[in-house]
A and B are shown apart, each in its own frame.
Chain A
Amino acid sequence: MIPDATNSASASAAPAQPLWQERDAAPGFAEAAANEFPEGATEFAGDETSRRTFLQLAAASAALASAGCYIRPAAQRKIHPYATQPDELTPGLPNYYATATVHAGYGEPALVRQNEGRPTKIEGNPDHPSSLGGSSIHAQASVLDVYDPDRSRTATRRGNPVGYETAIAALRGKLYRGNESDKNLSVRVLTETVTSPTLAAHIKALLAAFPKAKWVQYNAAGNENARKGLATAYGKPVSAVYDFVKADVVLALDADFTGTGPGAVRYSRDFADRRKIRHTGKTLAECAAGREPGKPFKEGVQADALNRLYAVECMPTNTGAVADHRLALKSAQIAALARTVAAKLGIAGVTAAGDWTPAQAAWVDELVKDLQSKAGKGIVVAGDHLPDWVHALVAAINEKLTNVGANKPVKLIEPVEARADKPEQNDTLAGLVKDAAAKQVDVLLILGGANPAYTAPADVDFVGALKNVPFAVHVGSHQDETAVLCEWHINEAHPLETWGDVRGHDGTAIVQQPLIAPLFAGHSALEVLAALVPGTNGVPGTPMSPEALVAATWAKWHADAKLTGPFKTFWDTAVRAGAVPGTASATAAAALTPLATAGLPASTGVALAAGELELNFRPCPALFDGRHANNGWLQELPKPLTKICWDNAAFVSPKTAEEMKSKVNFRWTAGEHGRAEVHVAEIEVNGKKLKLPIWGLPGHADGAITVHLGHGRLRAGAHVGNNDGALNAAGEKAHGTNVYPARTSATLWAAAAKATRTAQKYFLANNQGNWSMVERDPISGKPLDRKPVRFGTLADYDKNPKFGKITPAASGETDAIDANVPYPKVVKKGDHKDDHKHDDKKHDKRLHPLNMYNPAEGLSPDLNPAQRRRWGMAIDLAACNGCSACVVACQSENNIPVVGKEQVTKGREMYWINVDRYYSGDEKGDQGAIRAYFQPRACVQCENAPCEIVCPVGATVHGTDGLNDMAYNRCVGTRYCSNNCPYKVRRFNFLTFQDWDTDTIKLGRNPDVSVRSRGVMEKCSFCVQRIRAAEIVAERELAKGLRKLPDPDKGEVLIRDGEIVTACQAACPSAAIAFGDINDPEAVVSQWKNEPTNYGLLAELNTRPRLTYLSVVRNPNPAIAK
């Protein structure tokens, strides 16, 4: 129904806190933001080319072009049909296969779209508990890795190509004497975390065949501390998994549980579910039941069932950004806070630590009270990089609060990760290096792309030790830093190219099936191992297909589990579903031991001398430990919160930046746009010096620096990862600065550092100022407060649920404006006529004359109503945590090019959806009080689209279903539309950004979306290709009588809700996006739009946006002063 907004104007407005974006006050920023196409933005190319040279070039190329012109419009093309067509394939229709991508050893469940045998798009798998349909940026971007032209294409020996067979024969010759394994060989297998049952079984078989062998598991950014802490606390290895649906209160101690880690996608979904207020949502009692298999799960919660998140963190994360209460503390203080909380909860043997200001002490008191009042319904979670004793302590806290157990939010399970059966056969990287240095390692097998030559801590001299290993084999996808040091290298197949298996965060296994034959004839680590372990008859490397290898593991599991039914049926079902039922890790029977709270160290973190800052190492949100450095989508992705791409930086609080006398200057006059000139810091840590640009990040803890791992690689790949252009801050040809050399085993996550600002300047690509919606008062020049994100607290919501509808720019007309936001169809019994009356007193005539739409009817009321559709979208900002999965998903689905750092600085990045982030709070004040708000901004598909009326060639016009269509081939590139778009969501191809030359890249494109070239405007289409595909199926069935003609009077629609899922909607881990036909009152999107928090962005401009937002409602503890 159309909400009655009559009282909204008189009711209290949303809190009057101003929203700002970082660096609003920086010199030049305002100018940069205000000018969409600043002077010079349209310059032809690099600095050396002026407009004059452009004209000369243009004249010359026109002459050449006309000389070789082929005037016929359609060039002759070829058709290559199959010689024998696969049964499952219909040319022109995609197939979907369930499989998994692998990140840091854990599986990310995936449904992969395959067009004529080429994987082109990855979605999450709704049937797997680690995904429930959502996916991470890494899973989304994984499809680009398949087509990475820099992938290693052959096995090599000392860099010279040899065949795979040669490499395997050499390995086998080294390991075996005839058919007997050489028992004296000291073999080392180096992997990262392994969860694959089949791979683990093969490694174990190798360990059994070579008694002196050891398995080295090494992660540059892993969860070893958490595992060790839990093992200490419970006396045996266990993992903790969380059910955030059941959690009324959450304390995150520097834990980015919605952003990083194997369970992040699932945790995002569950956590966000309790932040969405819905009239039909769950009650508190229903939340306590969680997701029950086989039972329908109501989306969202009643207002009184909102959860509450307390976050304590140093570097702002996606999780902390959406917290209800936040403290910005140094890592050492976070550990101290864990002790204080434990002490206040009365856990025996724990004393409080840390110096707290009165406000902080009160904060902790209220936090403890809150945790206690919701005992059994809360979660305390610690970040992977906190010391192991903090994890043990957190286990004790959760136990004390009775949060652990069956039907409780925290569950202990048997570890998902595989380890060697004999403890002495487990080793660490440091152990390996020690043995190698002592020349006690004969054969080193590096599997799965582990890259310790780049990532190893500085005191672990892996590179030096490798020289003492007589036989080293690297199995990986690239000729990376480690590969070039090994004598042998075997090119590894991508996870989408091979059979395999892997486990999700809760242990539920996924059988991976190949989507494409290995493009470069690669082999998986599993195949390599299978060729080296004794086969059933004792002979090494009995040839077996990779599929059979995996099937054998599961045949054994099937037999052991004594499942009824034939194995074949089980296997086919498991492969098809992408999740093997019944494989979730068993609940661990473990009781807390006194060791959990014993032996707490005197110091809670790095001790800082005067003038020193705490330096924190964190994995990059996009590049992780550096493995994704050659993925253009992830390099260019504006990193959540920081909005910086192609670089890392030394993140400090704005206050600390000021103390370091660091300045940011946005240059905007010479065509640069997102070009932020910053000072470079020299950071002295562990005797090494790092040079990184300084970036003051609101919300960062004072007195600390955070740097991201994974940047500054020199051998990532020629096309993306290596930098052949400008130098980084340290003067190397690389994207960002490599900080690994300053990291030691003792200071893996935090170190004491001295930082000084140098006179050197460096420019960062920061797209915060690009495509700004800022509008200035023409007289005063002050930015208008348009409240792009409407936010309030639960108290505000209770007072007036419609607080988000109040339009700041035209508050007197709020009701009229709200009536002008397209609302779902109202179905009335007996009378289906629209009740919209033009003589109605409420109706503000000023807002209507230009409107060709009748709000409830759409364009041209004489069209057949049964087949008229009104596409609409709603985004729940309360659920969005800014993870940016939608951005990468959109890039993958819509063939959006990567433009490079230089072009980003000119405001030319091509994202159709961009995640804006806004702050509230005092930038220079208490960093903990700063709140972040995220707003994914795409084309809102205005019903009164300002872009359409200014297009001189009719390249962008309206469709009857409300889509603002873009006909690329009509566009002549005037860019009038973009200038007239108040939302600034149109993107122009200034140059030929698409890669038309690299063959492999062409394979990965979506064939259902035009590949745009230079001179063409583009923008979000609501994934029109998906809409049309579903429409064609529905209309076909309608014509053949397989579907009933809907009765619009009853609110029936032809295309059922959920038949069309846009790429961003499918990817969103938090399920914050709804899309559908707003003629269907039952559609999810209609229900969302009918929530009182729904508002239209810039709706006061009478654009009638079809994409609307749901206001942010947070649930702060009333007892804590803001």
Chain B
Amino acid sequence: MAQIFPKALNPIAKMLVLGLPLLAGGAGVTGAAFYRSGYATGIYEVPPQPVAFSHAHHVGQLGIHCAYCHTSVEKSGFANVPPTKTCMNCHQQVWRGADMLGEVRESYKTDKPIVWNRVNNLPHYAYFNHSIHLAKGVGCVSCHGQVNEQNLTMQSSTLLMEWCIACHRAPEKHLRPQAEVFNMKWEASQYGTNPDTGKPYTQRELGLKLKKDYHVRDDVTLTNCSICHR
């Protein structure tokens, strides 16, 4: 029986043995990389907003407490964007005529909401709850980043499921005392000296201690599907 392929193709066949898996693997890696890329996840993106509200100014410079505006954050799953009324509490007094606040005054006058662009988009089948995270000692900064330094608000995390799970598997990396959850500049070392080591607490040591104190549930339970998906 005659040979179907000429001998000259042998090197190509050998290259394909090596090359095909590489190609397939490469496509996989590319796909995975794209999936995690900033373009796909929207991390570090700063969506435009109808009113140029600056957290850097209000939080960083003026030191207004997070929960002054986001009132429901400790009670509800949803950390509310404040009603226009909250803005007007101050801006009836300060910057009364500023052009920048025209939209805010208009909203207050007409009782129509200011329509903000959502910065942190979770899919509809993921039910994140702010209140339980704060109660168990996860600070704002762990997910939202240094909001006190952001002018327009930025998406600071990938919001991928693997990012959620990483913390649910090892919450000690992010736990802090309940009193410090709104603190943008807190570090574990501020907690004091660890009596076991005689040195200031590291995040891991403190995290494990707080995990116990706040009765954070075990990693198996925290990664149950229905903890987030209902």
Q: Which residues of A contact B (CB under 8 A)?
A: 71-85, 90-93, 859-860, 863-864, 866-868, 957, 959-961, 963, 965-969, 1008-1011, 1021, 1024-1025, 1028, 1032, 1035-1036, 1038-1040, 1045
Contacts and interface: CB of A to CB of B under 8 A. Distances in A.
A76 B77 CA distance: 20
B136 interface: yes
Given A90-B76, A967-B229, A1028-B127, A75 B121 contact: yes
B220 interface: yes
Contacts of B112: 83
Given A76-B47, A864-B217, A968-B229, A81 B224 contact: no
B41 A1032 contact: no
B142 to A, nearest CB: 16
Contacts of A859: 220
Contacts of A1011: 124
Sort A-B residue pairs by CB-CB distance and give the 5 closest, nearest first: A92-B78, A92-B76, A74-B121, A965-B225, A959-B224
A968 B229 CA distance: 8
Contact of A79 (B81, B131, B159): B81
A81 B127 contact: no
B115 interface: yes
A contact patch SS? loop
B92 interface: no
Contact of B225 (A78, A85, A90, A967): A967
21 contacts: A77-B117, A79-B117, A79-B118, A81-B113, A83-B114, A84-B83, A85-B83, A92-B76, A93-B72, A863-B218, A863-B221, A866-B215, A867-B221, A957-B225, A959-B224, A959-B226, A1021-B230, A1032-B129, A1035-B217, A1036-B135, A1039-B135
B115 A969 contact: no
Interface in B44-103: 47, 71-72, 75-78, 80-85
B163 interface: no
B57 to A, nearest CB: 19
Given A92-B77, A965-B225, A1039-B136, A83 B47 contact: no
Interface string B127-153: 101011001110000000000000000
Contacts of B227: 959, 1028
A83 B225 contact: no
B111 interface: yes
A860 B83 contact: no
Given A78-B117, A81-B114, A867 B217 contact: yes
A964 to B, nearest CB: 9
Contact of A1040 (B83, B118, B125, B178): B178
Interface in B30-45: 39-42
Contacts of B76: 90-93
Contacts of B116: 78-81
A83 B107 contact: yes
Contacts of A863: 218, 220-221
Nearest to B219: A863
A981 B111 CA distance: 53
A1059 to B, nearest CB: 16
A1010 B225 contact: no
B124 A1010 contact: yes
B108 interface: yes
Contact of A90 (B75, B125, B135, B136): B75
Contact of B125 (A80, A93, A1010): A1010
A92 B218 contact: no
A863 B114 CA distance: 47
B98 to A, nearest CB: 19
Contacts of A860: 220
B155 to A, nearest CB: 10
Interface of B: 39-42, 47, 71-72, 75-78, 80-85, 107-108, 110-118, 121-125, 127, 129, 131-132, 135-137, 159, 178, 214-218, 220-221, 224-227, 229-230
B40 A73 contact: yes
Contacts of B226: 959, 963, 965-966, 1021, 1024, 1028
Given A72-B40, A1010-B230, A969 B72 contact: no
Contacts of A1010: 124-125, 229-230
Contacts of B220: 859-860, 863, 960
B84 A84 contact: yes
A1024 B77 CA distance: 15
Contacts of A961: 221, 224
Contacts of A965: 224-226, 229
A76 B230 contact: no
Contact of A1024 (B82, B132, B230): B230
B contact patch SS? loop
A1032 B131 contact: yes
Nearest to A959: B224
A83 B224 contact: no
Nearest to B116: A79
B132 A76 contact: no
Contacts of A868: 221
Contacts of A71: 40
Contacts of A959: 221, 224-227
B113 A1035 contact: no
B32 to A, nearest CB: 14
A812 B95 CA distance: 84
Contact of A83 (B39, B80, B85): B85
Contacts of B115: 78-80
A73 B161 CA distance: 12
A866 B85 CA distance: 44
Given A81-B116, A83-B112, A965-B226, 4 more contacts: A74-B121, A76-B121, A90-B75, A864-B218
Given A93-B72, A93-B75, A1010-B229, A1045 B215 contact: yes
A82 B83 contact: yes
Contacts of B127: 1008, 1025, 1028
A269 to B, nearest CB: 30
A719 to B, nearest CB: 24
A74 B110 CA distance: 31
Contacts of B113: 80-83
A83 B106 CA distance: 10
A83 B109 CA distance: 9
Given A85-B85, A959-B224, A91 B132 contact: no
A328 to B, nearest CB: 46
A966 B113 CA distance: 36
A661 to B, nearest CB: 52
A869 to B, nearest CB: 9
Contacts of B121: 74-77
Contacts of B214: 1039
Nearest to A82: B83
Contact of A960 (B216, B224, B230): B224
Nearest to A77: B118
A1045 B77 CA distance: 23
A242 to B, nearest CB: 41
B107 to A, nearest CB: 5
Nearest to A1008: B230
A81 B83 contact: yes
A93 B130 CA distance: 12
A958 to B, nearest CB: 8
Given A72-B42, A78-B118, A1028-B227, A83 B217 contact: no
B136 A91 contact: no
A304 B78 CA distance: 53
B135 A1040 contact: yes
Contacts of A1045: 215
B178 A1039 contact: yes
Nearest to A1037: B135
Given A959-B226, A1035-B215, A83 B131 contact: no
B215 A867 contact: yes
Contacts of B41: 73
Contacts of B215: 864, 866-867, 1035, 1038-1039, 1045
A74 B84 contact: no
Contacts of B107: 83
